[in-house]
Structure 1
């Protein structure tokens, strides 16, 4: 099995991809370890601040030393330059809020998994043309589960992962998975600013494990 497929299997197998950013390096690593303890093996760290690259390198070092089976990806990649920098820093996969041809070219050249954000059938078709296997439906709160139901049969080979506005409730998760998504991306609804600031790593592990159990029960 190639690395791209392995990462897809990790994300779809659990049905959940946690994503977050924090400026504190120690908190970033603490959250990563808490997610790992809960059973997560793929995480998206978002490129949303000046400290993102330095923090990502430290997180990658922690993975190599203590969590060798963790797949650490970088999100909010909006151009080829950022893609190249984070690939050099050890990113296992790339996620973008939209589609950019220069990122697609880098991903293809480096043979790295890239999941672009899409919110229209045209954008999904564009992603397909680059050989993309899994797209991020963003923002999920705007599109809704009904969108997935409407387009899924048109793109039978594509895997869908809504991100943005997905929460941990049974009702919300049930609607998404019933519509046919393969996983959900979950940020602040799972990893709130408050719980990270408080360094409540036990709480993060607990809430994440509960979300995984809810998803497993739904599926």
Structure 2
């Protein structure tokens, strides 16, 4: 069962508007990544649903977070069907992220009052998702749509809250461009949690890198 209301999830996401996106089959690596990000100031973290037994790994991280990081909000990404969404909600997911919008997933999340952040790439998709109660849209793929799309979207639909995923770099130039265009938050995967850092298991370097990125937007 989720520990945080979706209103709290939304507000925390807007207050600390960088969401690390991560997946690994190694529980120890996941725990160290979670620890480094938390120490750096991250308060919303997305574990990607990828690979066999990913839900079991997620369950262990939820237990760790409840003990060691009481204000860290854990959610899960790449959820494309209601059954998988329900499974992760049972394991304690505080929000569900999808690469595309699915009305059945929205219904499951709404019944449990859990935040649903579906990927959308057109104004029609965004309007459809919002009509199903979606409060924050995952703009995906960001690298294809670009900051100009966010700016164009905000003109006729200024009420739309946008989380951009894909194509975001943890640099001043990239972040200032996206947020300047109207993005409300960003999700960053391997460009933030780099393969080099993970291979070396340099958790101090990861903490420093994440902290520097947050300093640019908080």
In structure 2, the partner of 1:159 is 161
Structure-1 residue corresponding to 2:81: 79
Root mean square deviation of aligned Cα = 1.1
> 1:206 aligned to 192, 205, 208, which one?
208
Matches of 1:4 and 1:85, distance apart in 2: 18
Give the TM-score normalised by the residue count of structure 1.
Answer: 0.95
SS across alignment from 1:116: strand
Residues matched between the structures, number: 215
User: What residue in structure 2 maps to residue 66 of structure 1?
Assistant: 68
> What is the CA distance between 1:11 and its match in structure 2?
1.2
Partner of 1:190 in structure 2? 192
- Cα deviation, residue 195, structure 1: 1.6
| Matched-pair contact (CA < 8 Å) for 1:21–1:46 | yes
Deviation of 1:169 after TM superposition, in Å, equals 1.6
Partner of 1:127: 129
Alignment counterpart, residue 41 of structure 2, candidates 39, 56, 77 = 39
Name the counterpart of 1:148.
150
Residue matched to 2:59 = 57
Helix, strand or coil at the partner of 2:29: helix
For structure 1, the 5+ residue unaligned runs are none
TM-score by length of 2: 0.96
Aligned residue in 1 for 2:119 = 117
Paired position in structure 2 for 1:94: 96
Pairwise CA distance, 1:198: 2.1
1:168–1:211 CA contact under 8 A, matched in 2 = yes
* Secondary structure of 2:155's aligned partner: helix
Determine the C-alpha separation between the residues in 2 that align with 1:155 and 1:82: 31
User: Aligned partners of 2:95 and 2:18: how far apart in 1?
Assistant: 15
Q: State the Cα deviation string for residues 17-36 of structure 1 (Å, max 9, x = none).
A: 11110110111111001110
User: C-alpha deviations, 1:81-123, integer Å up to 9, x for none?
Assistant: 1100000000010000000111011011111000000010011
CA apart distance, 1:128: 0.8
